[in-house]
């Protein structure tokens, strides 16, 4: 038996197990890109319209999110596709690779299924090799769909440019598949591996953003920078893809070397021994939930504070972004008429609240993870009621959402005070961020209701968030009907600091969240534990 024995069978098993999940990922990314590109001809019918849109790229705020803006002097549909679709699609591809690799490596070891598989005629490297093979195959499948679909979606998109676009995405995907494989060797928990790999995504994107804004060599440190430097649809360059391949190969080599040496179920980063006596706080369900989720909340909080500093620091420059740019009219209509800087701050608050909804769902679904790992049953065998146990995780989710919004508002406010000298900006922007708390509680209530009613399908809450994000980001481009925006709880929050604060929508959202939470608690109390 060799170290790769059983690889083929494991590949088939992974494809069988993830046939729906993987198909949804690939099709969602492909259809989002193709659907957005197909709307360009109607949204920007003339060269003048496209050139007006290109003005976004000449602003530091535009470069922060979009990139260097190659081809902005003659903004064709191809240049628009590469500049405005590639960065966001690259982040989605990176996350797809991370979740796929960690799910079939570290998560399998954490749940003790990997040891059972290894007890059969399966080589040491077979699980890792099979997982990486499927991850690379998913990238190739997505690349093939985009290479064929982009020229068919919009006239004027060349096959060569489409191939460069797809290759750039595949390069990002294989890089983070390799980095996720390394992260899976470091920790003993899947959450830790996902956290490390996700921080790599955030760090790489931030490095790319700073490098593009300042036109420095930093952009060459990031896989996202290599993707944009392929200059799809402008003057295609293929050699940056070799950097992605080299980094991916190096990461895989490191992962393989570590995997050969360590024991199954263990990681390079050793678990710290616990204290001889448990803290008094761990004697309560909430204390335990806080202990389980404090690291996650801390990382989210720090990230939102830094994000607030970045957004607030460039608000003045971003204000000029909205002046005389007709292409942004649809977005601005939804925000409301106001000072351009306030429009920008209202938009960033909404986007940040959408990201914070991800934390809320993740925090609530931690209860599902505890149940699936059979750790909830011994807890509930003690004099701890089901409402108290689930309620502790809900308190972490709902209370944590306030912490994240406060951190973002604080960061944005501090940056604005420094740039404008107006101390009144701090409480104003903190209030604008905190206004989204009831909307985030609705997401938490939805996750709780799904957990109580259909625990095996509780992850559908992520699908709801994905749909709302799709409508929010691409709705104005695709010219979706007004009723589609109303599906999002965030749409019903007063868009501070542009609009005036209104109590009524906040109370309605709070009531909806309370009803969903109550439904989840009642349903969880009446159903059997999933064992």
Q: For residue 273, is pLDDT > 80?
A: no
**What distance in Å separates the CA atoms of residue 43 and residue 330, rounded to the nearest whole number?**
10
Classify residue 39 as left (phi > 0), alpha (psi -120 to 50) or beta: alpha
Q: In the predicted model, what is the mean pLDDT of residues 477-494?
A: 78
Please tell me what DSSP assigns to residue 188.
S
**Mean pLDDT, the chain, as a whole number?**
84
Task: Write down the pLDDT at residue 46.
Answer: 82
Q: What burial letters (b/e) apply to 69-91, b meaning 16+ CB within 10 Å? A: bbbbeebbbbbbbbbbbbbbbbb
Q: Taking Cα atoms as reference points, which of 471, 470, 491 lies closest to residue 480?
A: 471
Q: Return the H-helix or E-strand segment holding 217.
A: none
> Residue 270: its pLDDT value, please?
67
Mean pLDDT of 34-46: 81
Q: Which residue is it, tokens 């991370």? A: 98
Mean pLDDT of 302-309: 86
> Does residue 482 register a pLDDT over 80?
no
pLDDT band at 39 (very low <50, low <70, confident <90, very high): confident
CB atoms within 10 A of CB 203: 12
Secondary structure of residue 81 in the 3-state scheme:
helix
DSSP-derived letter for residue 423 is: T
Q: Examine the pLDDT at 436 and tell me if it is beyond 90.
A: yes
What is the model's pLDDT at position 378?
A: 84
Split at pLDDT 50, 70, 90, the class of 446 is: very high
Higher pLDDT: 63 or 146? It is: 146
pLDDT attached to residue 458: 87
**How does residue 476 score in pLDDT terms, banded at 50, 70 and 90?**
low
Q: Specify the pLDDT at position 327.
A: 47
Q: Which of 156-160, 240-244, 515-519 comes out lowest in average pLDDT?
A: 156-160
pLDDT in tens, 450-459: 999 998 888 8
- Interhelix angle 19-38/126-153, nearest 10 degrees: 30
What pLDDT, on the 0 to 100 scale, is given for residue 112?
Answer: 79
Q: For the chain, what percentages of helix, strand and coil (3-state, to nearest 5) are there?
A: 80, 0, 20
Mean pLDDT value of segment 119-136:
89
pLDDT in tens, 197-209: 888 888 888 788 7
Tell me what pLDDT residue 317 has: 61
Q: CA geometry: angle at 42 spanning 39 and 44, to 5°?
A: 95
Distance CA 22, CA 7 (A): 19
- pLDDT recorded at residue 144: 94
pLDDT by residue (tens digit) across 165-187? Answer: 999 999 999 999 999 999 999 88
- Residue 312 has a pLDDT of 81
Q: What integer pLDDT is reported at residue 507 of this predicted model?
A: 94
Q: Which residue has the tokens 């050969």?
A: 260
**What number is the average pLDDT over the span 228-238?**
89
pLDDT at residue 406, as a whole number: 95
Matching residue, tokens 């060459």: 220
- Residue 140 exposed, middle or buried by CB count within 10 Å (0-12, 13-18, 19+): middle
Higher-scoring residue by pLDDT: 482, 458:
458
Burial (CB count <10 Å: 0-12, 13-18, 19+), residue 66: buried
């Amino acid at each position: 038996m060799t170290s790769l024995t059983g690889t083929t069978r494991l590949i088939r098993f992974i494809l069988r197990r993830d046939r729906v999940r993987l198909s949804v990922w690939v099709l969602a990314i492909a259809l989002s890109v193709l659907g957005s590109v197909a709307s360009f001809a109607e949204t920007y019918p003339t060269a003048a319209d496209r050139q007006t849109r290109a003005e976004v790229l000449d602003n530091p705020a535009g470069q922060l999110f979009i990139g260097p803006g190659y081809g902005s002097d003659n903004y064709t549909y191809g240049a628009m596709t590469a500049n405005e679709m590639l960065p966001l699609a690259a982040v989605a591809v990176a996350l797809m690779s991370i979740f796929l690799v960690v799910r079939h490596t570290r998560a399998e070891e954490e749940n003790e299924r990997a040891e059972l598989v290894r007890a059969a005629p399966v080589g040491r490297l077979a699980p890792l090799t099979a997982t990486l093979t499927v991850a690379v195959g998913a990238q190739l499948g997505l690349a093939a769909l985009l290479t064929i679909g982009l020229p068919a979606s919009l006239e004027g998109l060349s096959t060569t440019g489409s191939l460069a676009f797809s290759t750039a995405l595949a390069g990002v995907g294989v890089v983070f598949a390799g980095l996720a494989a390394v992260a899976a060797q470091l920790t003993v928990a899947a959450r830790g591996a996902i956290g490390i790999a996700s921080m790599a995504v955030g760090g790489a994107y931030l490095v790319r953003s700073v490098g593009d804004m300042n036109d420095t060599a930093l952009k060459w440190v990031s896989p996202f920078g290599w993707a944009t430097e392929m200059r799809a649809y402008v003057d295609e360059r293929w050699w940056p893809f070799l950097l992605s391949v080299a980094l991916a190969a190096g990461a895989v080599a490191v992962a393989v070397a570590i995997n050969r040496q360590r024991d199954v179920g263990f990681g390079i980063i050793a678990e710290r021994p616990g204290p001889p006596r448990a803290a008094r706080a761990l004697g309560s369900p909430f204390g335990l939930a806080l202990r389980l989720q404090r690291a996650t909340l801390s990382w989210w909080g720090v990230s939102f504070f830094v994000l607030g500093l970045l957004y607030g620091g460039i608000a003045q420059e971003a204000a000029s972004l909205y002046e005389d740019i007709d292409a942004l009219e649809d977005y601005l209509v939804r925000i409301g008429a106001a000072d351009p800087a306030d429009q920008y701050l209202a938009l960033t608050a909404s986007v940040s609240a959408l990201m914070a909804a991800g934390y809320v769902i993740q925090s609530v679904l931690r209860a599902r993870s505890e149940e699936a790992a059979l750790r909830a049953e011994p807890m509930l065998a003690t004099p701890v009621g089901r409402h108290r146990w689930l309620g502790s995780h809900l308190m972490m989710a709902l209370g944590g959402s306030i912490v994240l919004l406060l951190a973002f508002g604080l960061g944005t406010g501090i940056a604005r005070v420094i740039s404008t000298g107006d101390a009144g900006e701090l409480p104003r922007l903190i209030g604008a961020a905190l206004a989204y708390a009831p909307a985030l509680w609705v997401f938490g209530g939805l996750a709780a209701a799904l957990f109580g009613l259909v625990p095996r399908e509780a992850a559908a809450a992520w699908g709801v968030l994905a749909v709302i994000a799709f409508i929010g980001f691409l709705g104005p481009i695709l010219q979706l009907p007004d009723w589609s925006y109303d599906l999002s709880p965030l749409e019903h929050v007063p868009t501070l600091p542009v609009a005036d604060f209104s109590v009524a929508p906040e109370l309605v959202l709070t009531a909806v969240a309370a009803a969903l939470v109550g439904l989840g608690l009642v349903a969880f109390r009446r159903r059997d534990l999933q064992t």
